[in-house]
Amino acid sequence: MNQDEFQKLVQENPRPLMVDLWAPWCAPCRMMAPAFHQASETYAGQVDVLKINADESPEVLRALGVMSIPTLVGFAGGKEVLRRSGVQSLEVLELLFDALAHQRAPGILPLAPVDRILRTGVGVVFLALGWINRDILPLGLILLGVGAAALFSAIYDRCPIYRAVAPRVKAFFSRSKQA
């Protein structure tokens, strides 16, 4: 598929369109395929699906600015409304399809397990460095603060306080941008 065919399909599609950018050699793409198929079956008739092989359509990937696969891009009314890269769980895929079907933002999505593990590891390393350097006050405090922030970012999407405050903060900044 070339760029012109892709743009025409996106513009003329009557329903929201979920584009799956993948490749046959991509292990994460193959790993996500069963969950993607299940989610797309659940939303059949509400959301159309277009699978684009990255090896056969590099022009489309360049035009979309896709740097890694698998990447999911959702279009509604000819405009991009969501994007998510990397392997997604069935839960996240269903949230993405649901948001696209109802043409709204997907909200706060859970972190991928790999992201959660990496953030936790970075947080622990910085906390350890801060503890080791606790005698050097400014450096130790900064490292402890960075470690605590990294650990919090590993679990923030499960924190009830964050879930309560985040939408209000987002709404505040959205209003201030429009003003």
| 71 in Cβ contact with 84 (< 8 Å) | yes
**Looking at residues 50-68, what average pLDDT do you find?**
94
Name the pTM for this structure. 0.70
Q: Which residues make Cβ contacts (< 8 Å) with residue 144, sequence separation at least 6? A: 126, 127, 130, 131, 134
Tens of pLDDT, residue by residue over 22-33, are: 999 999 999 999
Per the model's pLDDT, the better-predicted residue between 123 and 174 turns out to be: 123
Q: What is the pLDDT at residue 50?
A: 95
96 closest CA partner among 10, 167, 17, 158: 17
Q: What is the pLDDT at residue 7?
A: 92
Distance CA(140)–CA(126), nearest Å, equals 9
Distance CA(57)–CA(53), nearest Å, equals 6
Of 16-20, 35-39, 87-91, the one with minimum mean pLDDT is: 87-91
Percent of the chain with pLDDT over 70: 97
First to last CA, the chain: 41
Catalytic residue annotation = 26, 29
Tens of pLDDT, residue by residue over 144-165, are: 999 998 888 888 766 777 777 7
Q: What is the pLDDT at residue 167?
A: 77
Confidence of residue 179 (pLDDT cuts 50, 70, 90): low
Q: For the chain, what are the domain ranges? A: 3-101, 113-178
Of 8-12, 85-89, 173-177, the one with minimum mean pLDDT is: 173-177
CATH number of 3-101: 3.40.30.10
**Looking at residues 38-55, what average pLDDT do you find?**
95
Q: Which residues make Cβ contacts (< 8 Å) with residue 163, sequence separation at least 6? A: 108, 157
Distance CA(176)–CA(171), nearest Å, equals 9
Partner residues linked to 79 by β-bridges: 76
